[in-house]
Structure 1
Amino acid sequence: MQDSTSDLESLRSRRIGVLSGGIGSEREISLRTGRGILEALRRQGFEAVEVDPQPPGMETLLAARLDVAFIALHGALGEDGVMQALLEFAGIPYTGSGVLASALALHKVQTKRVLRVLGIPTPDWRVVTARDDLEEATERIVAELGLPVVLKPISEGSSVGITIPKRREQLRADLETLVVRYGEGMAESYVPGTELTVGIIGVGERLRPLPVLELVPHREFYDYEAKYVKGLTDLIAPARISSETTGEAQAVGLRAHQALGSHGVSRVDMHLDPQGRLWVTEVNTMPGMT
């Protein structure tokens, strides 16, 4: 909980609001996450209520009469620092990262800039906006990043809007779709190999990495459906990697978590390339719990 020293027993006398749903593109996943958290809290004897902040304003939070907020929101206005700022203004303690870390983590370009400055490996990238000449942008991306390449919205989670074009013509079409839908986007070097993710949990001296998880999607890549449709991805824990690589992945995950100032919990996504190098692609300060 953000800057809270309350133990579990003191929380039993408090009204906990599980914030889920919202207005972002990941609304349905957020609702599923929220329901799971709500049921778990109630099973443990906590007074927990569901709060769907639509609209995500101060009135909604104050009307819920919360002592504590457990944030289970995903995407814009949920994990980008906006809700965190509203809760701080309302004086309601909340779980997870604060305003700055949340904003940095959801903005993929800013995340990569922080990682790059601190020497944490992350794939090369280029930003494309609706103002750019898309023919020139296509040529630049092919020349500088090569094909295939990963196209992403800059501030979406759950792999929403991601494509991996393999041909120049497909890249040009996907770029247009990306900037029309989102206004801007990011092209990122494609890293072949094994997809890994490292959960980070705890605060202060109790901060620690969880076992490394290996993701084996049955689709072309770990997209939105592969994440949330049962049977489309094999989740292997611990990952089928050496103990040395496991330790390195956990160390990189911790560094990335701390680099953004994350608090309490995060999930660090990375790729292990055929040469044995790790590349961090994203830091998620609000991991789904579906």
Structure 2
Amino acid sequence: MRIAILAGGPSPEGQGSFLSAEEAGRALKELGHSAELVDMAEPAFWTRVTTYDAAFIAGHGWYAEDGKLQGLLEVLGVPYTGSGVLASSVGMHKPTFKNLMVAEGINTLPWAPVSRGATSETISQVTTKLGLPLFVKPASNGESFEAGIVRSDEDFEKLLSAESEYSSQEFIAEPFIESNTLTVAVLEINGTVKPLPVLEAISLNEFYDSEAKQDPSLHEYRCPAPLPDFLTERIQELAVRVFTVCGCRGVARVDFMLSEGRPVVLEVNTVPGLTLQGNLAAMADASGMGYKRVIEIMLQSAFDRPSYCP
């Protein structure tokens, strides 16, 4: 088939997505397909997309994994990989995702919304409610851009007032916990939802920030994570449940931390990074499945979609 690999675009994460697109394209060609990069920053890129058999979404962040691109492809009638409009938008918008987890009884950290430029009074109310230190991150952004640890009201105010090229207006605050990130990729294979091995990401920075994520010398992966069997099984069960509750399709990744020995869900990533150095590739290798098989499953999701997908 002729596959358009969609990457780039106006997202702050757009440039990084070209690395995912390159690796996915290589795998698709090895699987016998014709794969070409389509940069979503191109004028009227959607007219070009309609000439392909399917769109393989490799873009990250705004306008790629938040439901907007998925809605465009639905209207154009172009088969596309991964989750639909609803699951993508829920996964991208952290307050909505957190509310869904609470409604479903899935353990997540307490949190509070806060806006850029919040008053000292509002910040004080949040820190009084949640305590300090807190981890503050944009409501709709990835790669830990604009995120950070705040240990005082002054830190909080400074983070929210910092000038940034990303210009997020909406943030959430959660208690900061000393724990490595645990993550599980979940795959939908012929209608069956299956978790991959749990991966533990150890950051050499203060937290697993964008620098640590992008620089292999600043992180270490352990996969399978050295956890007791009962905890591994519990995390995998929760990952499958989050995938199902959100209505994800194809492949997604669910992130966790341990709080007092219990897994708490952080977020779901409906378009995981696809580089060979990334955690999805590490989990695929640890499972014995391999990277190419994951790419094949992602492509198949474009054609297994119901005639109407919310």
TM over 0.5: same fold? Answer: yes
RMSD: 1.7
Please tell me whether the aligned partners of residues 123 and 190 of structure 1 are also in contact (alpha carbons under 8 angstroms).
no
Written as runs of structure 1 = structure 2, the 5 A alignment for 1:90-129 is 90-129=76-115
Long gaps (5+) in structure 2: 276-310
* Matched residue, 1:246: 232
**34, 38, 42: which one pairs with 1:47?**
34
Please tell me whether the aligned partners of residues 161 and 178 of structure 1 are also in contact (alpha carbons under 8 angstroms).
no
Written as runs of structure 1 = structure 2, the 5 A alignment for 1:62-141 is 62-64=47-49, 65-130=51-116, 132=118, 134-141=119-126
Map Cα deviations across residues 98-153 of structure 1 (whole Å, 9 max, x no partner).
00100110001101010110001111111112474x20122112211111101111
Please tell me whether the aligned partners of residues 180 and 203 of structure 2 are also in contact (alpha carbons under 8 angstroms).
no
Written as runs of structure 1 = structure 2, the 5 A alignment for 1:109-188 is 109-130=95-116, 132=118, 134-177=119-162, 181-188=167-174
Map Cα deviations across residues 46-85 of structure 1 (whole Å, 9 max, x no partner).
1111111115x7x312224111010001111100111111
Name the aligned partner's letter for residue 23 of structure 1.
P
Please tell me whether the aligned partners of residues 17 and 48 of structure 1 are also in contact (alpha carbons under 8 angstroms).
yes
Secondary structure of the 1:18 match is strand
* Matched residue, 2:305: none
**5, 12, 27: which one pairs with 1:25?**
12
What is the CA–CA distance in structure 2 between the aligned matches of 1:192 and 1:63, rounded to whole Å?
Answer: 47
Secondary structure of the 2:158 match is helix
Map Cα deviations across residues 237-263 of structure 1 (whole Å, 9 max, x no partner).
010110000000001111111111111
What is the CA–CA distance in structure 1 between the aligned matches of 2:20 and 2:13, rounded to whole Å?
Answer: 11
Name the aligned partner's letter for residue 133 of structure 2.
P
Bigger mean CA offset, 62-71 vs 277-286: 62-71
Name the aligned partner's letter for residue 251 of structure 1.
E
What is the CA–CA distance in structure 2 between the aligned matches of 1:127 and 1:97, rounded to whole Å?
Answer: 26
Name the aligned partner's letter for residue 47 of structure 1.
S
**184, 192, 196: which one pairs with 1:206?**
192
Spell out structure 1 runs of 4+ moving beyond 6 A. Answer: none
What is the CA–CA distance in structure 2 between the aligned matches of 1:104 and 1:199, rounded to whole Å?
Answer: 17
What is the CA–CA distance in structure 2 between the aligned matches of 1:167 and 1:131, rounded to whole Å?
Answer: 16
**223, 228, 235: which one pairs with 2:214?**
228
Aligned residues, how many?
273
* Matched residue, 1:4: none
Please tell me whether the aligned partners of residues 108 and 264 of structure 2 are also in contact (alpha carbons under 8 angstroms).
yes
Name the aligned partner's letter for residue 168 of structure 2.
Y
Name the aligned partner's letter for residue 105 of structure 2.
G
Percent same amino acid among aligned pairs? 37
**Post-superposition offset of 1:204:** 5.9
Name the aligned partner's letter for residue 145 of structure 2.
V
Please, what TM-score do these two structures have when normalized by structure 1? Answer: 0.90
**Post-superposition offset of 1:195:** 1.7
* Matched residue, 1:3: none
* Matched residue, 2:274: 289
* Matched residue, 1:7: none
What is the CA–CA distance in structure 2 between the aligned matches of 1:256 and 1:204, rounded to whole Å?
Answer: 19
What is the CA–CA distance in structure 2 between the aligned matches of 1:234 and 1:39, rounded to whole Å?
Answer: 25
Whether 1:193 and 2:173 are equivalent positions in the alignment is no
Long gaps (5+) in structure 1: 1-13
Name the aligned partner's letter for residue 28 of structure 2.
L
Please, what TM-score do these two structures have when normalized by structure 2? Answer: 0.84
**Post-superposition offset of 1:177:** 2.6
